[in-house]
Chain A
Amino acid sequence: MSPTFASPPTWPWGVYVTPEPAETGITISEADFQKFREFFYRKTGIQFDSSKRYFVDKRLAERIEATGSGSFRGYFMLLRFQVNGEELQALTNLMTVNETYFFREEYQFQCLVDSLLPEIVARKIDRRPIRIWVMPSSSGEEPYSIAIYLLERWAGIHRWDVEIIASDIDTRILAQARQGLYSHRSVQYLPADYLQRYFKRRAEGYQICDDLRQSVEFTRVNLSERADTRSYRDFDVIFCRNLLIYFDDVSRKTATETFYDALKPGGFICLGHSESMSRSSSLYKVRKFPSAIVYQRPLEVS
């Protein structure tokens, strides 16, 4: 996959405290920036255009200082040649933007329970669990929202097992998702009774209850890495919202091909409201349901 944060919709100012380049005394030249962005794209698929220079420079300066590399050159050598890839992961965590909230783009969850799941169970010929993959997991709001929606709004949950797997490239955000601790802002669109039922009040905000925390499996996946995605198969529904818009054309195409093989024939993929599959792949069928447009891997192709 290729997460490309050419222009993240929201900036995590206030989430990450990063020093200004001037404060650290570290400068990143235009040539450094070009070199870095080519390397980072190759490794992660994430692409930064020139308008994100400030964002990238700030984070590079922070890591150069934190690792004691002294200069861009020293840090770049560390990134390129470190055997365990730890620093590349740390930097990836810093470069990816995570902001979401519970019940964001709720109409798609409605589509899931009103249209997608009824169709899926109608053609199901086994009793195996229904599998849902959420990518990116971010801090967990989306997979937990799906879990809550299924419990509250889908009668079929009493007859079927559902497995929810949520993945992200960012290990730090995955740890946060597993912990399930949220601010008031993050839960503000949840009905009050849901908040009461599924959350515990904490000094820092709200924590999702243990039962729900155990109902979502969080895994680290880089969509650009075939080795990471190979075992993700047999999903009935994939949610991949507001991620592909940051990818370049080739990465987007690769990601949609990966999803194609991760879905069962007839499986559905839900993209963000501003996203469309048409530019990257002709493999999917467009399905218009009352509450949302989703894409389907055709049934007839095995």
Chain B
Amino acid sequence: MGLIKTQPTVESVTEEVRKHPRDCAGLLAQLIDPNPTVRRWAARDLADCPDISAALVERLHQEADISVREVILTTLTGLGDATSVAGLVECLRSEDAARRNEAIEAMRQLPDAVAPIIRGLLADPDPDVRIFAVNILESLCHPEVERWLIEVIDRDPHVNVCGAAVDLLGEVGSGAARESLLRLKARFANEPYIRFAADLALGRLRDA
């Protein structure tokens, strides 16, 4: 017993013998394997397969094991194409808070893919989806974030959507947001929270 001695020329970490071929068809089949470890590896390796986003999105919606879902989300984030993003958008409408949060987290990492659709999300008929869209902007590295937030506080009729946007403007807002913040205060003159948050944001404007 004790510390195992190594031989300089032999590595104990060697590639194991494959049970299944790791071609795309084989990996797709493993995506529904009963063993979550097999599913995780398949989801990881499918990143190298062409046109795979739709199958991953489909699996994401069915997958019950969070450890597999996390890997699928990471792979979709890496792919970052329109199908992946559309799949993530569907998750925003899920009744399951964990799935919504996972999608928000993933979309924050995809500024280039999310940018073309963000205005659509911010104009969604469902105010919850609009709030999630503002949540995505919270960590989205994109130069238009402030402009999108300004549009929200200028136009959105829902107090909670505007509340989320004004909170974030307190962080990222510049002088360009000043007029809109003042208009927002006037528009929601009977909402103490909006007045408070708008004042706070006005006080913090970057080049104020």
Contacts and interface: CB of A to CB of B under 8 A. Distances in A.
Contacts of B1: 157-161
Interface stretch (B50-58, B70-78, B89-97, B124-132): B70-78
Contacts of A67: none
Interface residues of B, number: 30
Interface string A199-220: 0000000000001101111010
Given A163-B12, A165-B12, A231-B15, A215 B3 contact: yes
A12 interface: no
B108 to A, nearest CB: 8
B41 A261 contact: yes
B2 A162 contact: yes
B77 A250 contact: yes
Interface stretch (B32-40, B152-160, B161-169): B32-40
Contacts of B66: 282-283
A254 B45 CA distance: 12
A253 interface: yes
Interface string B120-146: 000000000000000000000000000
B193 to A, nearest CB: 28
Contacts of A162: 2-4
A147 B3 contact: yes
A159 B65 CA distance: 37
Contacts of B4: 129, 161-164, 215
A246 to B, nearest CB: 17
A219 B4 CA distance: 16
A107 B1 CA distance: 25
Given A161-B4, A215-B6, A261 B40 contact: yes
Interface of B: 1-6, 8, 11-16, 35-37, 40-41, 44-45, 47, 65-67, 70-71, 74, 77-78, 109
List 3 tightest A-B contacts by C-beta distance, closest first: A215-B3, A217-B6, A214-B5
29 contacts: A150-B3, A160-B1, A161-B1, A162-B3, A162-B4, A163-B3, A163-B4, A211-B5, A214-B5, A215-B6, A217-B13, A226-B44, A226-B47, A231-B13, A231-B15, A232-B13, A249-B109, A250-B77, A253-B74, A254-B74, A257-B44, A257-B74, A281-B70, A283-B66, A283-B67, A283-B70, A301-B65, A301-B67, A302-B36
